[in-house]
Amino acid sequence: MKLSLRATLMAATVFASAPAVAQMTDNPMVGGAPMLAERNIVENAVNSADHTTLVAAVQAAGLVDTLQTEGPFTVFAPVNAAFDALPDGTVETLLMPENIDALTEVLTCHVLGANAMSDVIGGMIADGGGVHMVETLGGCLLEVRASNGMITLTDETGGTATVTIADVVQSNGVIHVIDAVLLPAADDAAMDEDMPMQTGMDTGMDAGDNPMVGGAPMFPSRNIVENAVNSADHTTLVAAVQAAGLVETLQSEGPFTVFAPTNMAFDALPDGTVETLLMEENRETLTRVLTSHVVAGNISAAQLTARARASSDGFYHFNAVSGAALSAQVRPSGDVYIFDESGNAYLVSVADVNQSNGVIHVVDGVLLPR
């Protein structure tokens, strides 16, 4: 969580271009109230019966003055029902003074530092071949698409919102009403650890929505090692982790993102490679190979996808704990491939296996450092 989000948002207004020209006609009604184009975002929002929760949140975060400045801004405005759909207690917890930074991060995931009318957004989607990535003032990456004539937004957790009312012109930008709350990635949100925010990770004792791996349930209440030892597809990886002395590390708090090669991935290496790596004298080399599969932080498949599509070359470039350079690419099929330093590309065959200390993505090849 960036503690300077409110300052960043304020600074953005200084460099933004001129505000939208006020218009008196053609603005849609919102929440039973007329939206007057000569009024600013806050002045209009307070009159919408469908946005009382959003207005209360903006007030609690201290963002009223910012959203009344010149802008321009594009605000994707969730209706009350969108906030009501969050897990019980989420809104109440966010509105607590001690959670102002988390609240600010959520709210600024809905704000762009530009005036983006629906036709402009549609043009960017078309230019992008059906998808356009946009970064909000809060640093969230949103995947924007057009579906059945409607604009949809997918956030960093994989949640999707639809624009239900577009192009509500304001004196300092535009509002698009949406039917869901857009959330930042779970590992970026500076929320109280007891906050019941929907993050995609089940912290209960059952496997929940976690995929099976190697014929075994994966429990999000257990750590990476505790789950991996139960996978029949990862016995070689577990043996290698033990031989390298990395068990305690991968049982620590993390969080870690682990790209976990299957037994078949190790079997595909040249004959004798695994046996040689497991020798005591080659422990340093084994450690480098294994830590080339580990990344600091909890990176979901949705984040890998969003960051790859937002990049200029179509790849998300990042470093493993070993320092090895890795890249993620999304194919037209939607499949995610991870490239190692040797230029090999391997499919993420099972994604988002949530752990108590991070996430596992199963890959069908061993990522080799140079």
Using pLDDT thresholds of 50, 70 and 90, give the confidence band for residue 208: low
Using pLDDT thresholds of 50, 70 and 90, give the confidence band for residue 103: very high
Neighbouring-strand partners of residue 350? 362
The pLDDT of residue 207 is: 54
What is the rounded distance in angstroms from the CA atom of residue 110 to the CA atom of residue 317? 26
11 or 292, which is more confident: 292
| pLDDT, tens only, 138-149 | 888 888 998 788
- Inform me whether the pLDDT recorded for 355 exceeds 90: yes
Give me the residue spans of the domains in the chain. Answer: 5-188, 224-363
7 or 107, which is more confident: 107
The pLDDT of residue 54 is: 96
| pLDDT, tens only, 306-324 | 999 888 888 999 999 999 9
- Inform me whether the pLDDT recorded for 3 exceeds 60: no
Q: Is 131 exposed, middle or buried (0-12, 13-18, 19+ CB in 10 A)?
A: middle
Neighbouring-strand partners of residue 318? 326
Tell me the pTM.
Answer: 0.52
| pLDDT, tens only, 116-140 | 999 999 988 887 778 888 889 888 8
The pLDDT of residue 192 is: 39
Mean pLDDT of the chain: 85
Q: In whole angstroms, what separates CA 298 from the centre of its chain?
A: 10
The pLDDT of residue 120 is: 92
Number of alpha helices (DSSP H) and beta strands (DSSP E) in the chain: 15, 14
Which of these, 216, 266, 222, lies nearest to 240 by C-alpha position?
Answer: 266
Residue pair 296/322 in contact by the 8 Å Cβ criterion: no
- Inform me whether the pLDDT recorded for 284 exceeds 80: yes
Rounded mean pLDDT, 248-266: 94
CATH of 5-188, one of 2.30.180.10, 3.40.50.720, 3.90.15.10, 3.40.50.300: 2.30.180.10
Using pLDDT thresholds of 50, 70 and 90, give the confidence band for residue 186: low
258 Cβ contact partners less than 8 Å away, ≥ 6 residues apart: 224, 250, 293, 294, 295, 358, 359, 360, 361
- Inform me whether the pLDDT recorded for 245 exceeds 80: yes
Rounded mean pLDDT, 348-367: 95
| Amino acid residing at 83 | F
272 Cβ contact partners less than 8 Å away, ≥ 6 residues apart: none
Alpha helix (H) residue ranges in 50-145 = 52-60, 64-67, 80-84, 90-94, 100-108, 118-127
Half-sphere exposure of 89 (CA within 13 A, CB side): 5
Q: What percent of the chain has pLDDT over 90?
A: 67
Using pLDDT thresholds of 50, 70 and 90, give the confidence band for residue 281: very high
Angle at 61 between CA 59 and CA 62, to 5 degrees: 65
The pLDDT of residue 243 is: 93
The CATH class given to the 224-363 domain equals mainly beta
Residue pair 6/66 in contact by the 8 Å Cβ criterion: yes
- Inform me whether the pLDDT recorded for 6 exceeds 50: no
Under DSSP, the state recorded for 22 is P
What is the rounded distance in angstroms from the CA atom of residue 323 to the CA atom of residue 333? 30
| Amino acid residing at 70 | E
Q: Do domains 5-188 and 224-363 have the same CATH topology?
A: yes
What is the C-alpha end-to-end distance of the chain, expressed in Å? 34
Q: How far is CA 315 from CA 94, 125, 339, in A?
A: 34, 19, 9
Using pLDDT thresholds of 50, 70 and 90, give the confidence band for residue 193: very low
What is the rounded distance in angstroms from the CA atom of residue 2 to the CA atom of residue 43? 28
- Inform me whether the pLDDT recorded for 347 exceeds 50: yes
The pLDDT of residue 296 is: 92
